[in-house]
Chain A
Amino acid sequence: MPPPDVKKGGGRATRHRAAQPPVGVSDAEGGSLTRVQRLELYYWMRLTRSLEERLVNLYRQTKVVGGLFRSLGQEADAVGSAYALGRQDVLSPLIRNLGSMLVKGATPLEILKQYMAKGDSPTRGRELNIHFGDVGDPASTRGFVGQISPLGDMVPVMAGVTLTFKMRKEARVGLVYVGDGATSTGAFHEGINFAAVQRCPLVVVIENNGYAYSTPTAKQSLVRQFADKALGYGIPGETADGNDVIATYEATKRAVDRARRGEGTSIVELMTFRRKGHAEHDNQSYVQPGEIERWAAENDPIDRYARRLVAEGVTQAELDAIDARIQAEIDTATDEAEKSGVPEPLDALVGIYADPPAEQPLWFREGRGAVVEKSERPSSWGTFDAPAKGAD
């Protein structure tokens, strides 16, 4: 007998409408972006940043239960690369790729609920932060696969997703993000090599942001550029300026077009810089003094793009109107997310298998609800127990 009053099966939570604007990309090859599309790129980058800033506020109010992972300064690479995909394509984001998920249709409301561990969040409180997906029938899903924490694991998974496109002769493409750090894992190597020999329509985006947690790229790999690794797999590799959203889009689009033409797997390396710690608790003591400030002042992807748009004839008033609309959207989503309840304890036992649909409560819990009345966030939440000096 399944436990009472819980959802049956492992189905996904409440469906959410996509953020506005809708995915404005086309499956057609090449071609320059229209004015509307150029403004959409601005919208997605600004939405990414503003949403994360809202999450910081919620984190400080302890409404975000777990760690908070920022993509400050990396919004262009996530947004520009995802924008090169079509509606039916599938991507697998990593922890700095909130922007790519928004482009693919994830909503601020979903992100907020997910971080706040709400019962009607996409994973119903099971997983953290942006670890969730929406993949299946392309007619009814948005096409992103939820990541797990071990790094590189999504590369072989996406090799399998795109192998299926090839087997079914579908003109669909997959894109998987890894950081500079994940390229050191066995899963990365085995996955990309498999995709390469199978000519899977897969784009492997390596976000080179200078650090894997505290480890600089010089201790991760001796290659000059991570795109050079492509040589070892017999596939094309290209490096682009990840803080230039148009350059990012164009480089990714070339790889996506190759994949869609049946020319297999590519690497696109996007050069950027992580201006926040690995997670919110990390004070980046390992970064050279001045480096973060220099990137913020000279190479902020949103500032750069806004200047470019203005030079191309977009008015500041237009950009301000987009910013205002985003703030309103985030305010509305925050209000709604805060209203959601916490997960029902018994839902913890549902959906480990298709059959049986739920585990039984262990004998010492029969007929009882939660045993812990009140749940507290650990007082020194960092990477769970960050010391005072390492915490911010």
Chain B
Amino acid sequence: MAEITYLEAIREALFEEMERDPEVFMLGEDIGKFGGAFKVTEGLLERYGESRVIDSPISEIGIVGAAAGAAHMGMRPVVEMQFIDFIANAYDMLTNYVATARYRAFLPCPMVVRGPSGGYVRGGPFHSQNPEAGFIHTPGLKVVYPSTAADAKGLMKAAIRDDDCVLFFEHKYLYRRIKGEMPAGDVVVPIGKARVAREGTDLSIITYAATVYKALEAAEQLEGEDGLSVEVIDLRSLAPLDDEAITATVKKTNRVLIVHEDTRTGGIAGELTARISESCFEWLDAPVLRVTAHDVPLPYAPSLEDYVLPQTPDIVLAARRLAAY
């Protein structure tokens, strides 16, 4: 079976879900004829027409709110943020309205908000963000952030079929750089399940999205140069978190490094550390360490962006310190 890119995998999931369920429709800016800023929705308009692939005005509040209303009525809207940075505009709709709808008014919001996220692309402060932590903190929203093509497809299917709102973060650095074989058939990757990206016994790196690849790179280097056996856990889902997988790896290796591209303070590494401390304290042989971005708006110049974001040598250095503890 031919390999397809991370981006194509997302597109395939959208096609297959629109084909399967006539209630699924797309809403977003420039997603129709243009196929979206990154061409994720390319071809959907031609196949499903303007009634199901709706080019919207520049109105994130409007389209997220409209998606909620349509979802109440039994539709399955998928909303594209042209860049995930612009989800900030819809923050009120998502956190005050959508996230509380089922709890306060017994109204379902089966909808997906998806968009290109993340840095390492010289995009500057408004085209590089990783705003997942703010939404993880909001009860009522689910958050996924895949790193492989197969997970991107399987999680998109799960997100569209989920009966609650799922925020689907797509890493734009991975869009065309990552390829993978798709499993045969209609495979849904369950939300809330992590993946062991690499087996190991000496220490665990827990991460997600683009930094999965940096962690794997570091693991290779650590094995070759230090003889360390490093396990890499790809969270895939950030809300809900897979506590079982996290506990299992901690109990196996007793040393944990958490890596994320998001900034440090209030990032998900803090939550993971707290959970590990609460549930696995006796199994730890070393303090939980973090490698994250610096607490800085993401700058444009390559020398600055590279400094702010976590890099493979940082992971190697942190893992060595952890192993030596």
Contact = CB atoms under 8 A, between A and B. Distances in A.
Interface stretch (B33-41, B106-114, B149-157, B229-237): B33-41
A238 interface: no
B306 A372 contact: yes
A364 B58 contact: no
Residue picked from B116, B303, B317, most chain A C-beta under 10 Å: B303
Interface string A132-172: 00000000000000001111100000000000000000000
B150 to A, nearest CB: 19
Nearest to A213: B30
A257 B264 CA distance: 50
B91 to A, nearest CB: 11
A109 B83 CA distance: 30
Nearest to A373: B306
Contact of B122 (A66, A344, A387): A66
B132 interface: no
Contacts of A117: 122, 300-302
Interface string B281-325: 000000000011011110111111111100101100110000000
Given A66-B300, A215-B55, A348 B127 contact: no
A127 interface: yes
A346 B60 CA distance: 35
A213 B307 contact: no
A380 B121 CA distance: 10
A352 B122 contact: no
A371 B30 contact: no
Interface string A367-392: 00011100111101101111100100
Contacts of A364: 291, 314, 317-318
Given A127-B300, A150-B85, A384-B172, A181 B124 contact: no
Which secondary structure dominates chain A's binding surface?
Answer: loop
B103 interface: no
A150 B125 CA distance: 11
Given A219-B57, A362-B294, A385-B172, A119 B33 contact: no
B300 A370 contact: no
A93 B34 CA distance: 26
B134 interface: no
A15 to B, nearest CB: 20
Nearest to A147: B126
Contact of A345 (B35, B57, B303, B317): B303
B315 to A, nearest CB: 8
Interface in B197-228: none
B70 interface: no
B238 to A, nearest CB: 21
Which secondary structure dominates chain B's binding surface?
Answer: loop
Chain A interface extent, by class = 35 or more
Nearest to B35: A390
Interface residues of B, number: 57
Contacts of A302: none
B116 A384 contact: yes
A385 B306 contact: no
Given A131-B124, A149-B127, A364-B314, A385 B296 contact: no
Contacts of B34: 213-215, 285-286
A57 interface: no
A384 B127 contact: yes
Contacts of B57: 181, 184, 212, 215, 219-221
B89 A65 contact: no
Contacts of B296: 348-349, 352, 359
A343 B126 contact: no
Contacts of B306: 345, 370-372, 375
A357 interface: no
A375 to B, nearest CB: 3
Interface string B35-50: 1011100000000000
Interface in B64-123: 82-83, 85-86, 88-89, 116, 121-123
A210 B199 CA distance: 55
Contacts of A378: 121-122
Contacts of A181: 57-58
B138 interface: no
B61 interface: yes
B17 interface: no
A213 B29 contact: yes
Interface in B174-189: 175-176
16 contacts: A65-B300, A66-B122, A125-B300, A128-B124, A149-B124, A213-B34, A343-B299, A348-B304, A349-B307, A349-B308, A352-B296, A362-B292, A372-B306, A378-B121, A384-B116, A385-B175
Interface of B: 7, 29-30, 33-35, 37-39, 55-62, 82-83, 85-86, 88-89, 116, 121-127, 172-173, 175-176, 264, 291-292, 294-297, 299-308, 311, 313-314, 317-318
Interface of A: 65-66, 117-119, 123-128, 131, 148-152, 181-182, 184-187, 212-215, 219-221, 285-286, 342-349, 352, 359, 361-362, 364-365, 370-372, 375-378, 380-381, 383-387, 390
Given A65-B302, A126-B124, 16 more contacts: A66-B300, A149-B86, A152-B58, A184-B57, A213-B37, A214-B33, A219-B57, A220-B58, A345-B306, A349-B308, A352-B295, A371-B311, A383-B37, A385-B173, A386-B39, A387-B39
